[in-house]
Structure 1
């Protein structure tokens, strides 16, 4: 009689494991170490803070470079010159007075020129001697353009011979000038020729004290 024994497992057959698999061992974190999620959050915040610092540094550098850049100077506004800087008065010589002119009177010519700038107006012509008076042709005020000149005839009348010098050393005339920049009174010394002619004219004018 043939019997049937227990079936032996075939090749490659494994018996069922009756014990559940144990979970992998987890190494405990060191005390005080934050969990991984918190560590990632802290790392992200550090990167964001460094990026913000970099941006602030770049902005500060740009602002510093802008503040220290070479400044372009605005073109200076050209102001007109003072009238006394551009006016010249030159003595030309004696001028004859018309017949019948009152005694103690003589005349001479000067040339007034304006070099540059706006037109210059002569508002007054005077001389330093209290005992004499003068008039001019053309009469003040008169204007002279830049780059031009005009002849002025100055007629002087001596009212009191005792108040004028017999020998003028450095005689001058005072001219009040005006342009768009300023009003100035300028004294013009007309040179030794004018001094000689003036001294002689005063001597002739005062040689006869009759009115």
Structure 2
């Protein structure tokens, strides 16, 4: 027989030791360790995926959470309301003229309220007629806190009947308001009842001229 190398085993040939052909799979202990390693890797991957989903959800909720306005004391002046936006003035009724008031004087009361924002200071109250002047009680300047109201007694003095209106159609008061945002002059029209009572008081005050 010629040729190179050992002869190929013939059909039906078995190993000398009579054993079975080798199993390509790893032994039982190694296979169990490998299975445990894959299971551990799978648990780690699942845990990381859950953590990533939770982190992404938490970040979304944080980014879309409603933002509360800063506390009132921490707001910048541009975040505060203008005083004229939160102040209202309404007519109450006529009042007894204070003792010692000059002749041709009469009094009435208004209610000034501050709805919100920082306190508002009234620095001045005036009226548009040249023949009249006025005083207030309390005297300006005075301060009113947010969420509160203050009764103001206004006493008018007729200085010149010739320049006082014979019939006040739409009388108003000019009120200078100040808060930490701004200083504003606001005109308050106090309504028809105030106009009627002011006209009546002027007629009475100037029916008998003094001086």
> TM-score normalized by structure 2?
0.63
SS at match of 1:193: helix
Partner of 1:167: 167
**More displaced, 99-108 or 166-175?**
99-108
User: Alpha-carbon deviation of 1:124?
Assistant: 0.2
Greater helix fraction, Structure 1 or Structure 2: 2
The reply on whether 1:94 has 2:102 as its aligned counterpart is: no
SS of 1:153's partner is: strand
Supply the distance in 2 between the matched residues of 1:139 and 1:97 (Cα, whole angstroms).
16
The equivalent residue for 2:114 is: 114
Q: What CA distance in whole angstroms lies between the structure 2 residues aligned with 1:204 and 1:85?
A: 36
Q: Work out the CA distance in 2 between the residues paired with 1:134 and 1:152.
A: 12
2:118 alignment partner, SS class: coil
Deviation at 1:116, TM superposition (A): 0.1
Shift of 1:99: 4.3
Question: Residues 118-142 of structure 1, C-alpha deviation per residue, up to 9 Å, x if partnerless?
Answer: 0000000000011111000000000
Separation (CA, whole Å) in 1 of partners of 2:130 and 2:185 = 18
Q: Which residue of 1 aligns with 2:147?
A: 147
Please report how far the alpha carbon of residue 103 of structure 1 lies from its aligned counterpart in structure 2 after TM superposition.
1.4
Within 1, Cα distance between the matches of 2:187 and 2:84? 10
Between the aligned partners of 2:112 and 2:81, the Cα distance in structure 1 is 17
For 1:130 and 1:175, the matched residues in 2 are separated by: 17
TM-fit CA distance, 1:164: 1.2
> Residues 119 and 100 of structure 1: is their aligned pair in 2 closer, same or farther, counting only changes over 3 Å?
closer
Equivalent residue, structure 2, for 1:40:
none
Structure 2 CA distance, aligned partners of 1:178 and 1:98? Answer: 28
Q: What is the TM-score when the length of structure 1 is the normalising length?
A: 0.63
In the other structure, the counterpart of 2:126 is: 126
How many residues in Structure 1 have an aligned counterpart in Structure 2? 142
Counterparts of 2:99 and 2:143 in 1: how far apart (Å)?
Answer: 30
* Structure number with larger C-alpha Rg: 1
Q: Distance in 2 between matches of 1:100 and 1:153?
A: 15
**Aligned equivalents of 2:104 and 2:173: distance in 1?**
19
Residue ranges of structure 2 left out of the alignment (5+ in a row): 1-62
- Which stretches in structure 1 are left out of the alignment for 5+ residues? 1-71
Change (3 A) 1:99 1:179: closer
